Amino acid sequence: MAGTFLVILACLFWGMDTLIRYPLVERGLNPTTIVFYEHIVLVLLFSTGPISSFKRIGELKLADIFSFLIIGGIGSAVATVAFTESFQYLNPSLVILLQKFQPIVAILLSALILKEEIQKQFIFWAAICLIGGLLISSPDIIRFYDLLRSNMTTVTSNSAVHGYLLVAVSIIGWGATTVFGKRLTVVGFDTKSIMGGRFLTGLLVLIPFVKWDRTLILPEGEDYLRILIMVLISGAIAMWFYYQGLKRLSAKTTAIAEMFFPFFAIMVNWFFLGKQLTDWQLLGGGILIFGSLVIQLKKY
């Protein structure tokens, strides 16, 4: 139970991220620039992780290097930029709705990469959790349906297709990050080393994509403080809880627990922005809690 609680706690802090990240993007800040500054701060915070791991460089296997490339270069850098940028091409409700497919990717990869057994009972209860997750996003489903009826071109245009590709990159990238992050815990890397290696690799991958011009200077001085707060909440604290939980759970169970992120995101919006939850969303949250509890108790 401790592992699931830690991942759920990480989801709570990730939910708070939305209060800062989305307004920054809506104001026109370059997504790559935002993620670049995030990684600079995170590397400074966890720089002793990679340094303490230098003694293991000679022992690193190609699979270890590849794992860090996946969780850092793909998951922390490319997938985060793709997700952030997708809001420029798609309705935010559609982006959040499509993100519900991420656990499916993680579960499939956990079976293929880590050889985790996927029992029929687990599939059943995972489907229950997915239904709960979809109910949590019921307002997004309704808005998407209304969008289809009113203006089909907004979801079939070339711009929309570009957005779908970006969301797909984020779904696959983050799903793979769960699996390869679990692999690093299995072979003996501690949480601080994993986080330090993840953010350092992510920063190195981001550098070629950064526009080294005046756009790198944020328009308001307070934006630097906003990014710092966002990094501490969703980058440092949330990721620490996440990897502590991942160390105790299988990758497939972690993928289910990660579904609490959208639930906490709407809870945060309710508490801070006054966006009332619907009965369907509350029902979805209850179903998700019940399904994930069964999976944890039965140890599927």
Mean pLDDT of 202-218: 84
Per-residue pLDDT of 239-285, as tens digits, reads 999 999 999 999 999 999 988 887 887 788 788 777 777 888 889 88
pLDDT level of residue 52 (50, 70, 90 thresholds): low
Whose tokens are 């508490």? That residue is 271
List the structure tokens of 166.
């970006």
Q: What percentage of residues in the chain have a pLDDT greater than 90?
A: 29
Residue 54 has pLDDT above 70, yes or no: no
Using only C-alpha atoms, the chain has a radius of gyration, in whole angstroms, of 19
Query: What is the rounded average pLDDT for all residues in the chain?
Result: 85
Q: What is the 3-state secondary structure (H, E, C) of 5-34?
A: HHHHHHHHHHHHHHHHHHHHHHCCCCHHHH
- Cα separation values, 55 from 50, 147, 198, Å: 10, 55, 17
Which residues span the domain enclosing 170?
A: 2-298
Query: pLDDT higher for 113 or 47?
Result: 113
Does 128 score more than 80 pLDDT? Answer: yes
Is the pLDDT assigned to residue 148 strictly greater than 90?
no
Which pair of structure tokens corresponds to residue 112? 């293929």
Which tokens hold the place of 148?
A: 């289809």
As to burial, measured by CB atoms within 10 angstroms (0-12 exposed, 13-18 middle, 19+ buried), residue 291 is buried
Cα 67–chain centre separation: 17
| 75-116 pLDDT tens trace | 988 998 888 788 778 777 677 778 878 889 999 999 999 999
Residues in Cβ contact with 33 at an 8 Å cutoff, skipping those fewer than 6 apart: 210, 211, 215, 216, 218
Residue 147: is its pLDDT beyond 90? no
pTM of the model as a whole? 0.85
Q: Over range 4-17, report the average pLDDT.
A: 89
Question: 46-51 long-range contacts, Cβ below 8 Å, gap at least 24?
Answer: 46/192, 46/195, 46/196, 46/199, 46/236, 47/196, 47/200, 48/192, 48/196, 49/192, 49/193, 49/194, 49/195, 49/196, 49/197, 50/193, 50/196, 50/197, 50/200, 51/196
Count of the separate structural domains present in the chain: 1
CB-side exposure of 124: number of CA atoms within 13 Å? 6
Q: What share of the chain in percent tops pLDDT 70?
A: 94
